[in-house]
């Protein structure tokens, strides 16, 4: 299916906001796969409009209550949604209720005639946090696939993308994609859309062998700089997205994204 889109809206959390793909010249200091997809879609269609409503740390409830009404008002013909990852990482989660909210959101968007893409969770068995929650994620994914079939949404099946088992495609925090990971995810999304593109993944840096002591030191730094603050936010009931606004809450021309970035004061 190849269609020219006029209005693209991205919803979700840090994955869609672009965390891990650092770019100080852009809003919120990040680029991300959604910005890359928008720029690729604008090739040959410079009037494509793009909004990115995603905010790091958002639960599904926040996406539904904060982002869905805005998305509907923008009347997009293409929508991507990735949500639920932060809910799954909570100590307790009602997966049936979570996915029911998600399905209702997708149904509301599909009723407008928009093409909707949703994502499965990644099977990150190399990551100790993901590995603990693998069963929960597998159930979540099956529920996502079920409502996507029922509602005519399309799936970007992250669970089955084996290449993302490479740690070089993940940022230092081991929870978000790196710039190289976002680059490859953009290509995967464009493939689901059936859109030709000229994105070429950047070569990955060589992997330096680590001694056991070096690996333990890396683990300790990660636990101190990421895991401990992350757990602290869970305990306090705060979010990394508190006080953070969406990057593009209103439409911008996707063809101008690079120009807009260079125009932002550093």
Per-residue pLDDT reduced to its tens digit, 214-260: 667 766 665 676 666 666 666 666 667 677 899 999 999 999 998 76
Give residue 266's pLDDT band: very low, low, confident or very high (50, 70, 90). very low
Sign of the torsion angle spanned by Cα atoms 153, 155, 56, 9: negative
The stretch 99-121 carries a mean pLDDT of: 97
pLDDT tens digits for range 27-77: 999 999 999 999 999 998 999 999 999 999 999 999 999 999 999 999 999
Q: How confident is the model at residue 262 (pLDDT cuts 50, 70, 90)?
A: low
- Looking at the DSSP bridge assignments, the partners of residue 51 are 9
Residue range 141-182, pLDDT digits in tens: 999 999 999 999 999 999 999 999 888 898 888 789 999 999
pLDDT of residue 133: 82
pLDDT score at 16: 98
pLDDT at residue 203, as a whole number: 82
- Listed residue (110, 185, 92) closest to 147, CA to CA: 110
More confidently predicted of 3 and 19: 19
Per-residue pLDDT tens over the stretch 172-187? 887 899 999 999 999 9
Q: Cα separation of 233 and 261, whole Å?
A: 30
What residues form DSSP beta bridges with 52?
10, 248
pTM of the model: 0.88
């Amino acid at each position: 299916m190849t269609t020219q889109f006029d209005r693209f809206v991205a919803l979700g959390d840090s994955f869609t906001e672009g965390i891990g793909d650092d770019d100080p010249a852009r809003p919120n200091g990040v680029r991300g796969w959604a910005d890359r997809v928008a720029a690729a879609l604008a090739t040959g269609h410079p009037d494509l409009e793009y909004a990115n409503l995603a905010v790091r740390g958002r639960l599904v409830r926040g996406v539904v209550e904060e982002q869905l009404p805005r998305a509907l008002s923008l009347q997009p013909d293409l929508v991507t949604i990735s949500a639920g990852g932060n809910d799954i990482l909570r100590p307790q989660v009602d997966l049936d209720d979570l996915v029911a909210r998600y399905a209702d959101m997708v149904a509301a968007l599909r009723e407008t005639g928009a093409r909707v893409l949703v994502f499965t969770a990644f099977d990150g068995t190399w990551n100790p946090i993901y590995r603990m929650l693998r069963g929960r994620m597998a159930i979540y994914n099956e529920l996502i696939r079920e409502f996507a079939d029922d509602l005519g949404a399309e799936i970007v099946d992250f669970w089955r993308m084996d290449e993302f088992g490479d740690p070089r495609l993940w940022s230092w925090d081991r929870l978000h994609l790196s710039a190289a990971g976002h680059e490859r995810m953009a290509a995967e999304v464009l493939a689901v859309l059936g859109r030709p593109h000229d994105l070429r993944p950047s070569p990955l840096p060589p992997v330096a062998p680590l001694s056991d002591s070096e690996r333990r030191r890396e683990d300790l730094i990660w636990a101190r700089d990421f895991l401990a603050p992350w757990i602290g936010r869970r305990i306090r009931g705060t979010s990394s997205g508190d006080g953070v606004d969406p990057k593009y809450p209103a439409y911008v021309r996707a063809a101008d994204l690079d120009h807009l970035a260079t125009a932002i004061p550093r």
